[in-house]
């Protein structure tokens, strides 16, 4: 059988999974590719590190030139995280004539225009299925299978680490730090897990999906975002009592005024598919004008689910499919944006609010009055009996009807200035 030489840069969580699939299941990849994908070379940073896979003798090195200098290696899995040296490695690979497959969404979200332009100039391709939602084939679905549609909205859980932590806290009463440490141990988290929990990783993935689905030219830094790192377990409990779960949601929704885009912890109704996404699973709910609603669900982080997407991209690359789709992809092209982001102040929705208030007469009317003055209608209220003793501060939870971001922000500022309100007011979006 014909043999095509491939290589891997980075043999951490994902790289080891890719090596295992290529080495242990070569017959499977050969059946789909019509040729053997021969793992010729693996490059890492530290040769002394123990590895999670057995490599044939002599193929591991710490010298990238072993790949860039070998004209017979045609495709390379680039599985190094972060921005540098990941960017320089990608540039060297493209300049030495390699087609590249990557899982690095941070790199694409930051340097996508430069890297895609370079690949186009050099007649090379970059495949990136594993960069968004791990094992879920969402890039192929949006860019190919759903291409007859005008995508109307994407509502997604895109960070496995955050969803794992939320599930552990909500269902098992786990402590935040312990749940994060477990996510790191399982190989879900980034080398710097801050990006997982502060919404950055999700915003980077949403920026990629918004480029593909809507032709939006949005930088991830311009997407309003909030992570789970500031979430209080009290709100997980109130949400549950109200019949909701809290998920870190990425939303992109098309309206006449432009594209609504944000990443935030959000209350989703218990029992709905998004609320049932647990652990390191991700999900993407797509609404298209022809297809209607489509729901994708699968492991969004972890070794083998991510390796599954990388190896499928390698197969597509060596058989020539990626070259065809890469040329027609609008991602980071010079083409004008088809849609602009909406002014966040005009976006409307429902919200969950929690205030720490003094337990004394008139407090409720002061708060409801402040909301009413901004035209915000209340759907439900919870106030607990205070603990014994004077001067108690109690949580007051309010679910609003639909209102605009702008009105809500002004009302929250008004309320935070009231004497009866203590620090720590909380606002969480609701997605019905």
Active site residues: 205
| Run of H or E residues at 100 | strand 99-102
For residues 360 and 340, give the distance between their C-alpha atoms in angstroms, rounded to a whole number: 47
Return the number of the residue (188 or 214) whose C-beta is nearest ligand NAP.
188
CB of 172 to ligand NAP, least distance (A): 21
Regarding beta strands 281-288 and 151-157, do their DSSP bridges make them parallel or antiparallel, or are they unpaired?
Answer: antiparallel
Return the number of the residue (9 or 248) whose C-beta is nearest ligand NAP.
9
**Binding ligand HSE by CB under 6 A: which of 146, 189, 277, 312?**
189
Helix segments in 173-229, DSSP class H: 176-185, 194-197, 200-214
Q: Phi-psi region for residue 215, left (φ > 0), alpha (ψ -120 to 50) or beta?
A: left
For residues 292 and 27, give the distance between their C-alpha atoms in angstroms, rounded to a whole number: 38
CB of 196 to ligand HSE, least distance (A): 5
User: By CB under 6 A, how many residues form the interface with ligand NAP?
Assistant: 27
Residues 325-364 that bind ligand NAP (CB under 6 A): none
The Cα-based distances of 49 to 18, 21, 389 in angstroms read 18, 21, 60
- Interface characters, 296-325, with ligand HSE (x: CB under 6 A): ----xx------------------------
* 204 contacts ligand HSE (rule: CB under 6 A): no
Residue nearest to ligand NAP (CB): 12
For residues 260 and 267, give the distance between their C-alpha atoms in angstroms, rounded to a whole number: 18
Q: With CA atoms as reference, report the closest residue to 132 among 121, 143, 122.
A: 143
* 65 contacts ligand NAP (rule: CB under 6 A): no
* 201 contacts ligand HSE (rule: CB under 6 A): yes
**Binding ligand HSE by CB under 6 A: which of 16, 159, 303, 322?**
159
* 188 contacts ligand HSE (rule: CB under 6 A): yes
Return the number of the residue (189 or 421) whose C-beta is nearest ligand HSE.
189
Return the number of the residue (134 or 288) whose C-beta is nearest ligand NAP.
134
Regarding beta strands 426-431 and 60-61, do their DSSP bridges make them parallel or antiparallel, or are they unpaired?
Answer: unpaired
CA 27 to chain centre: 32
Q: With CA atoms as reference, report the closest residue to 214 among 345, 120, 108, 341.
A: 341
Using CB distances below 5 to 8 A depending on partner kind, what does residue 15 bind out of ligand NAP, ligand HSE, none? Answer: ligand NAP
* Contacting range for ligand HSE; rule: CB under 6 A; set: 186-194, 254-262, 354-362, 385-393: 186-194
* Contacting range for ligand NAP; rule: CB under 6 A; set: 66-74, 287-295, 301-309, 387-395: 301-309
Q: With CA atoms as reference, report the closest residue to 160 among 141, 179, 137.
A: 179
Return the number of the residue (79 or 275) whose C-beta is nearest ligand HSE.
79
| Length of the chain as a residue count | 432
Q: With CA atoms as reference, report the closest residue to 275 among 382, 198, 173, 163.
A: 163
Using CB distances below 5 to 8 A depending on partner kind, what does residue 14 bind out of ligand NAP, ligand HSE, none? Answer: ligand NAP
Using CB distances below 5 to 8 A depending on partner kind, what does residue 187 bind out of ligand NAP, ligand HSE, none? Answer: ligand NAP
**Binding ligand NAP by CB under 6 A: which of 7, 10, 40, 136?**
10
CB of 206 to ligand HSE, least distance (A): 12
Which of the 8 DSSP states describes residue 272? S
Q: With CA atoms as reference, report the closest residue to 78 among 43, 106, 121.
A: 43
Could you tell me the maximum CA-CA distance found in the chain, to the nearest angstrom? 83
**Binding ligand HSE by CB under 6 A: which of 4, 68, 125, 161?**
161
Return the number of the residue (30 or 299) whose C-beta is nearest ligand HSE.
299
CB of 189 to ligand HSE, least distance (A): 5
Return the number of the residue (99 or 129) whose C-beta is nearest ligand HSE.
129
3-state class (DSSP) for residue 306: helix
CB of 12 to ligand NAP, least distance (A): 2
Q: Do 89 and 9 meet the contact criterion of CB atoms below 8 Å apart?
A: yes
* 160 contacts ligand HSE (rule: CB under 6 A): yes
Q: With CA atoms as reference, report the closest residue to 344 among 232, 233, 429.
A: 429
Gyration radius of the chain's alpha carbons: 24
Binding site for ligand HSE (CB under 6 A): 134, 159-161, 188-190, 196, 201, 300-301
């Amino acid at each position: 059988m014909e043999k095509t030489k491939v290589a891997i840069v980075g043999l951490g969580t994902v790289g080891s999974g890719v090596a295992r699939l290529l080495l242990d299941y070569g017959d499977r990849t050969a059946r789909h590719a019509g040729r053997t994908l021969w793992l010729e070379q693996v490059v890492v940073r530290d040769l002394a590190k123990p590895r999670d896979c057995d490599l044939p003798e002599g193929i591991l090195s710490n010298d990238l030139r072993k790949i860039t200098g070998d004209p017979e290696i045609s495709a390379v899995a680039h599985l190094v995280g972060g921005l540098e040296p990941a960017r320089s490695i990608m540039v060297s690979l493209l300049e030495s004539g390699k087609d590249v497959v990557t899982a690095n969404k941070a790199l694409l979200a930051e340097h996508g225009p430069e890297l895609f332009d370079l690949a186009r100039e050099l007649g090379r391709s970059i495949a990136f299925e594993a960069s968004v939602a791990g094992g879920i084939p969402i890039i192929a679905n949006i860019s190919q299978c759903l291409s007859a549609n005008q995508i109307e909205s994407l509502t997604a859980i895109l960070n496995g680490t955050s969803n794992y932590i939320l599930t552990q806290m909500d269902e098992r009463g786990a402590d935040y730090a312990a749940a994060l440490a477990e996510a790191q141990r399982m190989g879900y988290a980034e080398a710097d897990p801050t990006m997982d929990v502060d919404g950055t990783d999700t915003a980077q993935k949403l920026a990629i999906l918004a480029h593909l689905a809507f032709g939006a030219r949005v930088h991830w830094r311009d997407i309003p975002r909030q992570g789970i790192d500031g979430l209080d377990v009290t709100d997980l409990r109130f949400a549950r009592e109200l019949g909701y779960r809290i998920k870190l949601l990425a939303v992109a929704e098309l309206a006449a005024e432009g594209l609504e885009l944000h990443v935030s912890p959000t209350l989703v109704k218990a029992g709905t598919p998004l609320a049932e996404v647990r652990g390191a699973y991700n999900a993407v709910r797509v609404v298209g004008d022809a297809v209607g609603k489509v729901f994708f669900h699968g492991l969004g982080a972890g070794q083998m689910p991510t390796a599954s997407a990388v190896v499928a991209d390698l197969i597509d690359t060596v058989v020539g499919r990626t070259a065809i789709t890469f040329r027609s992809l609008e991602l980071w092209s010079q083409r004008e944006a088809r849609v602009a982001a909406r002014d966040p102040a005009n976006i409307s929705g429902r919200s969950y609010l929690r205030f720490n208030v003094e337990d004394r007469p008139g407090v409720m009317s002061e708060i409801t009055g402040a909301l009413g003055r901004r035209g915000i209608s209340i759907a439900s209220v919870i106030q607990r009996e205070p603990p014994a003793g004077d001067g108690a501060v109690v949580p007051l939870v309010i679910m609003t009807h639909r209102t605009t971001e702008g009105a809500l922000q002004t009302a929250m500022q008004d309320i935070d200035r009231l004497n009866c309100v203590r620090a720590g007011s909380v606002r969480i979006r609701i997605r019905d």
